[in-house]
Amino acid sequence: MIKFLDLQKINQKYATELKQIAADVIDSGWFLMGEKLNNFETDFAKFNGVKYAIGVANGLDALRLILKAYINLGQMQEGDEIIVPANTYIASLLSISDNNLVPILVEPDLENYNLNIDLIEEKITSKTKAIMVVHLYGQICWNEKLVALAKEYNLKIIEDNAQAVGATYKGNRTGNLGDASGFSFYPGKNLGALGDAGAVTTNDANLAAQVRALGNYGCSTKYVNNFKGLNSRLSDMQAGFLHVKLKYIDAENHRRREIAARYIKEIKNDKIVLPNLPNASENHVWHLFVVRTENRDVLQSYLTENGIQTAIHYPIPPHKQAAYKELNHLSYPITEKIHNEVLSLPISPVLTDEEVSLVINLINKI
């Protein structure tokens, strides 16, 4: 069987180094806010080309803390509107509504599943304070028009970079394109911890200090609480694991690109829509390889019967979830079409050439 995501195999490659980290942390007796966290933050900032990286507990918290920090800094207030793609994982919206901000959903582009930047301007009101772009499936959502729009209307651009660690736009990493960026190191993400983990990156010193304080009970000095914060820290154990895996992320993303290139070149089935290769200035990191077909469920069952695990990202759009009853009456036809038709094929740095061939041959035969 070909697993959709073989986390055991992915981490086995680095088992010796990871076990050494676990031993170091146990022997040191230091578990939070220590040297391992510090070293990871320094190198993760360097990797992204940003001034500040702050480790947090998970990707949702990274986004929540960015927005909470902007509120604390007086740059946003409750009731303000944040533009966000209708086609995203629900965490993007949760980070907004959790701060009593209002998510304003914008349809994606059917070509790349990302926020359609041409549809943003009509949604901007006097309450709009930010655009949250999501680099969905590992593909960059960015262009000059977005930057110009943000500048014209004085909006922050927040990147939900949970799926695109390591991607570059004209040589700059995602995570260093907008005003602030939230990363997830959930085990299945391209840079996965061995548990929950996340980070915020920014070049804004005030925002960085605010996020750091808010993630640690709102204090900068122990037992001195300046803000009503959260407990959202990245442990030294996870930071140590991530530091090991950071060394290999570019090579792993490269392998994902090789697999994606083969799928795109060799899958020949006119009922299946393949992803578009982004233009040359963008470097997609293929967190997911998503195809689209009107007969999605047929394709999925066929692959399952033939030993290929697939997944759906995502089956229900956020505005149709019970959690967002206030949005249930809205209609986003492109988003709904995507949710009904997408199927994610296996893609991971440990997939072998033979396994890729097997997937391709099966799809070409149906």
Ligand X SMILES: *Cc1c(COP(=O)(O)O)cnc(C)c1O
* Interface residue list for ligand X (CB under 6 A): 58-60, 88-89, 91-92, 134, 160, 162-163, 184, 186, 196, 198
> What does DSSP say about strands 180-184 and 156-160: parallel, antiparallel, or unpaired?
parallel
3-state secondary structure of 119: helix
Question: For the chain, give me the number of helices (H) and strands (E)?
Answer: 12, 14
Tell which residue, 92, 122, 116, 135, has the closest CA to residue 334.
Answer: 116
**Rounded to the nearest whole angstrom, what is the least distance from the CB of residue 59 to ligand X in the complex?**
2
Tell which residue, 282, 299, 301, has the closest CA to residue 291.
Answer: 299
**Rounded to the nearest whole angstrom, what is the least distance from the CB of residue 303 to ligand X in the complex?**
23
Peptide bond into 70 cis (omega under 30): no
**Rounded to the nearest whole angstrom, what is the least distance from the CB of residue 226 to ligand X in the complex?**
26
Q: How far does Cα 40 stand from its chain's mean position?
A: 19
**Rounded to the nearest whole angstrom, what is the least distance from the CB of residue 10 to ligand X in the complex?**
16
Interatomic CA distance for residues 58 and 196, integer angstroms: 5
Of 44 and 186, the one with the shorter C-beta distance to ligand X is 186
Of 184 and 210, the one with the shorter C-beta distance to ligand X is 184
Of 61 and 81, the one with the shorter C-beta distance to ligand X is 61
Of 190 and 293, the one with the shorter C-beta distance to ligand X is 190
Tokens found for residue 280: 């040359």
**Rounded to the nearest whole angstrom, what is the least distance from the CB of residue 16 to ligand X in the complex?**
26
Tell which residue, 212, 180, 185, has the closest CA to residue 198.
Answer: 185
**Rounded to the nearest whole angstrom, what is the least distance from the CB of residue 44 to ligand X in the complex?**
15
Q: Which residue shows structure tokens 């918290």?
A: 61
> Which residues contact residue 215 at a Cβ distance below 8 angstroms, ignoring those fewer than 6 apart?
54, 56, 57, 61, 65, 229, 230, 231, 232, 233
**Rounded to the nearest whole angstrom, what is the least distance from the CB of residue 237 to ligand X in the complex?**
16
Of 58 and 360, the one with the shorter C-beta distance to ligand X is 58
Tell which residue, 265, 297, 279, 288, has the closest CA to residue 346.
Answer: 288
Interatomic CA distance for residues 153 and 25, integer angstroms: 47
Tokens found for residue 290: 């998503």
Residue nearest to ligand X (CB): 59
Of 4 and 30, the one with the shorter C-beta distance to ligand X is 4
Question: Quick check: 272 and 363 in contact, CB under 8 A?
Answer: yes
Residues β-bridged to residue 159: 133, 181
Interatomic CA distance for residues 279 and 284, integer angstroms: 9
Of 176 and 232, the one with the shorter C-beta distance to ligand X is 232
**Rounded to the nearest whole angstrom, what is the least distance from the CB of residue 223 to ligand X in the complex?**
28
**Rounded to the nearest whole angstrom, what is the least distance from the CB of residue 27 to ligand X in the complex?**
28
Of 165 and 260, the one with the shorter C-beta distance to ligand X is 165
Q: Which residue shows structure tokens 């080309």?
A: 49
Of 52 and 113, the one with the shorter C-beta distance to ligand X is 113
Residue 305: Cβ-neighbour burial (10 angstroms; 0-12, 13-18, 19+): exposed
